[in-house]
Structure 1
């Protein structure tokens, strides 16, 4: 009975977070349509490794995609993985998203091959990695179920996306996402403090600037 209650609570939690997740996906599609109308010129704001012009891409790249198929597949995977992550609460979801985006983005900027790296795949891989590592070190029932479901339904496709030799695929971004998710899971309390301080500092700067 307790297991059933946990499952029902999990489903209710995910259901409550659906509007937020759909809103995030919708905003990415708005960017995609704008990018298409501009002939994908916005992709210059992706991560360009070891170039100053590529630094903003660390934050912007998850919103940029190379094709309709690219953003369509990422939308499906994002909805699934973000939904599972949101079981830990929206605060964890926000902190995890920021952490994975920054860590994976910096890794891509430092070590990836020369190209404009765009897409939310690294973020999605980070979600999956976080779920798997969390289930291993802290095997709560919902975490284990989330890890198994994620591995069964999406793991093969996600791992296939990391395989080298695929044209137009940022393998480095996917691997960086895996690393970022694992790092965040293992050192989550520290990461939480750092991200919270960063957000507080950003909020103070915005107040000073009158924004």
Structure 2
């Protein structure tokens, strides 16, 4: 089947709504002097399980929130435009699965921030575009590599002790797994010419008929000569005889 990418209001509304929710949580924290850090993921503890849901909405400071907001706006918009049938499940399941992995493998510290989800989106958009082999989605994958390729270093330990490399690694692996598991339609460019259509029959094409099985140019056979009986009438008699004419020279009746 052919696939058309259509712009809808959700392409902008979905990422804006999600990012604004992050800023709202941060505003509540600042305005009412709350500290939501303890609601983050604390690995291998019962109380830390709540962080699987809440940690993406909690940020340490304004810089932390800003640096997560920009890639979320871009990647969520790309996800909604190119994969609208999977956008919601990728986000929701991505938060839960990557958060659970972080809870399992993370160091004994509170893990907060939406960067895990960012890595889910990077992994999904990149690998899914490669797997589809559709030129627009491959181009999107290459763009993700160019813009966010440097993020790969932050899934490795000891690069920066202040970041949750465990959350980044969990997010990237989750995105890769989703790209493999979630099925998408067959993407194909629309057929503009007859020979691009699936029901194209070369034997019925006038141009293809000018070539033999070896690809040599040949002349089409002359059209058969058809004998058409003609009768001419005079005032005193009828004369019947036959003329040999071809279809190309067939006389046209006068009106």
TM-score, normalising length: structure 1: 0.78
Q: Is 1:85–2:47 an aligned residue pair? A: no
Q: Is 1:24–2:18 an aligned residue pair? A: yes
Instruction: Output the CA distance in 2 between the equivalents of 1:101 and 1:122.
Output: 8
2:92 alignment partner, one of 91, 98, 102: 98
Contact 1:135/1:147 (CA < 8 Å) preserved in 2?
yes
Deviation at residue 40 of structure 1 after TM alignment: 5.4
- Residues 5-54 of structure 1, C-alpha deviations (whole Å, 9 max, x = no match): x9xx75x6276511221111111101011223455511111111011111
Instruction: Output the CA distance in 1 between the equivalents of 2:44 and 2:161.
Output: 21
**What root-mean-square deviation, in Å, do the aligned CA atoms of Structure 1 and Structure 2 show?**
2.0
1:159 alignment partner, one of 135, 146, 152: 152
Instruction: Output the CA distance in 2 between the equivalents of 1:14 and 1:131.
Output: 19
Q: Is 1:133–2:127 an aligned residue pair? A: yes
Instruction: Output the CA distance in 2 between the equivalents of 1:61 and 1:174.
Output: 13
Return the index of the structure with the highest Cα Rg: 2
Contact 1:14/1:84 (CA < 8 Å) preserved in 2?
no
**Larger % of strand: which?**
2
SS in 1 for 2:59: coil
**Larger % of helix: which?**
1
Deviation at residue 159 of structure 1 after TM alignment: 2.1
Higher relative contact order (CA 8 A, sep 6+): 1
Q: Is 1:114–2:119 an aligned residue pair? A: no
Deviation at residue 167 of structure 1 after TM alignment: 3.4
Instruction: Output the CA distance in 2 between the equivalents of 1:181 and 1:25.
Output: 19
Q: Which runs of 5+ in 1 are unaligned?
A: 1-5, 190-211
Residue 7 of structure 2 corresponds to 13
Residue 70 of structure 1 corresponds to 64
Q: 1:26-65 residue pairs with structure 2 within 5 A?
A: 26-39=20-33, 41-65=35-59
Instruction: Output the CA distance in 1 between the equivalents of 2:24 and 2:144.
Output: 27
Instruction: Output the CA distance in 2 between the equivalents of 1:36 and 1:111.
Output: 30
Deviates more, 1:73-82 or 1:135-144: 135-144
Q: Which runs of 5+ in 2 are unaligned?
A: 184-255
TM-score, normalising length: structure 2: 0.65
- Residues 100-133 of structure 1, C-alpha deviations (whole Å, 9 max, x = no match): 1111111110110011101111111111101121
Instruction: Output the CA distance in 2 between the equivalents of 1:91 and 1:39.
Output: 39
SS in 2 for 1:13: coil
